[in-house]
């Protein structure tokens, strides 16, 4: 394994991950767990909805998780060579040449390459995959507010600021992070500063990352010269576009790559493709929502629907959608109206008239 840095990545970043990560990593994840979450508090247009969850989500310290995964790899026999930043991937008749940018400009010839080199992947670029569009995640480290349990994540839907949402989660009893996702880092930073001020939160520092935006399935393996190339994780765009979470999806992608290399079939990747596609469909609908749409959605998530949200995580989207739509078929109607409204609005210049016309289009079929 070749790693560009001189050692393990120690840059701290708090992540929220579903309990599925425990199914995949077992006890390996436990040293990275900072907190467990058993409730979400959703805000939109003055409406507040509390959603308890049956299997707690985990607040993870990314740097510790990287350390534990590195330890697992070395215990399994992997050798990690630090300080080797990949400069070029070159097709060769009898394999693939890796050319590194280091003091000696060394190179290596291999038969199989697994690219796990992040959103701006050199492996993907040189093997011919298209460059993904990126979104910007910014988190302000804040002193934890006294009015909120550390086991609750507070979420605000504010479409005027971001098509995604703001979230506030605790990584200790006294500290947490307020985060937002946007298309541009500077705008995301400005938005987070405004929002921390509006919530009277004391900022202690900042965290950030650039994350690929999943826009459709791209087969994460291909032949190159005399060898084969596989992409996993952010390099393959294996990120839930609803929340831009990628840890569980990346682990599924790695499992799929291992199955392909060991000729064990393709059991994992079809499920991953379905999961990512459903998240993309949901994101397409949510991108058309304004604050009032979110308010109405929260109002309609009654006790029965909240039960489905409590039982199935965002890494079980097919099961969650099936149970939601079976209990509340009108969610499908609302989604269809949002899509029609978004198409109608795209034909108009932005502004109040567009919104009025979108509302009118959304009322078709009532």
Segment 62-117, tens digit of pLDDT: 999 999 999 999 999 999 988 888 999 999 989 999 998 765 667 888 999 999 99
Q: How many helices (H) and strands (E) does the chain have?
A: 11, 14
The pLDDT score that the predictor gives to residue 349 is 39
Domain architecture of the chain: domains with CATH: 84-132+214-280 (3.50.50.60), 281-362 (no CATH)
Q: Which pLDDT value is given to residue 314?
A: 86
Summarised one tens digit per residue, pLDDT across range 253-273 is: 999 999 999 987 778 999 999
Nearest to 228 by CA among 73, 99, 87, 92: 92
**pTM given for the model:** 0.85
- In the chain, where does DSSP find H-type helix? 20-25, 62-75, 122-127, 185-198, 247-261, 268-286, 291-300, 303-311, 317-327, 330-346, 352-362
Q: Give the pairing type, strands 227-231 and 112-115.
A: parallel
């Amino acid at each position: 394994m070749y790693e560009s840095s001189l050692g393990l990545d120690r840059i701290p970043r708090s992540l929220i991950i579903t309990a599925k990560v425990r199914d995949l990593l077992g006890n390996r994840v436990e040293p990275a767990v900072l907190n467990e979450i058993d409730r979400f508090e959703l805000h939109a247009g003055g409406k507040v909805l509390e959603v308890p969850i049956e299997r707690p989500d985990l607040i993870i310290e990314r740097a510790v998780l990287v350390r534990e995964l590195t330890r697992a790899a070395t215990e399994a026999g992997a050798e990690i060579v630090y300080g080797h930043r990949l400069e070029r991937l070159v097709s060769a008749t009898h394999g693939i040449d890796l050319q590194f940018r280091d003091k000696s400009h060394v190179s290596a010839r291999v038969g199989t390459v697994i690219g796990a080199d992040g959103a701006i992947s050199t492996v993907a670029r040189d093997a011919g995959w298209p460059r993904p569009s990126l979104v910007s995640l910014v988190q302000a480290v804040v002193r934890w507010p006294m009015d909120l349990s550390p086991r609750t994540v507070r979420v605000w839907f504010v479409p005027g600021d971001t098509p995604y949402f703001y979230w506030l989660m605790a990584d200790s009893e006294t500290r947490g992070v307020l985060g937002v996702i946007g298309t541009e880092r500077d705008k995301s930073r400005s938005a987070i500063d405004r929002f921390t001020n509006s919530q009277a939160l004391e900022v202690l520092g900042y965290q950030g990352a650039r994350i690929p935006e999943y826009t459709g399935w791209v087969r994460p393996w291909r032949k190159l010269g005399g060898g084969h190339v596989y992409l996993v994780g952010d390099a393959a765009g294996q990120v839930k576009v609803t929340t831009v979470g990628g840890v569980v999806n990346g682990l599924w992608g790695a499992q799929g790559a291992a199955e392909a290399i060991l000729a064990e079939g393709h059991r994992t990747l079809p499920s991953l493709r379905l999961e990512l596609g459903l998240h993309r469909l949901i994101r397409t609908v949510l991108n058309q929502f304004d604050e009032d749409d979110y308010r109405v959605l929260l109002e309609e998530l009654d006790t029965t629907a909240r039960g489905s949200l409590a039982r199935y995580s965002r890494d079980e989207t097919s099961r969650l959608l099936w149970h939601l739509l079976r209990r509340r078929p009108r969610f499908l109607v609302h989604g269809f109206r949002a899509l029609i409204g978004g198409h109608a609005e795209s034909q108009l210049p932005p502004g109040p008239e567009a919104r009025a016309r979108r509302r009118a289009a959304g009322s078709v079929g009532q």
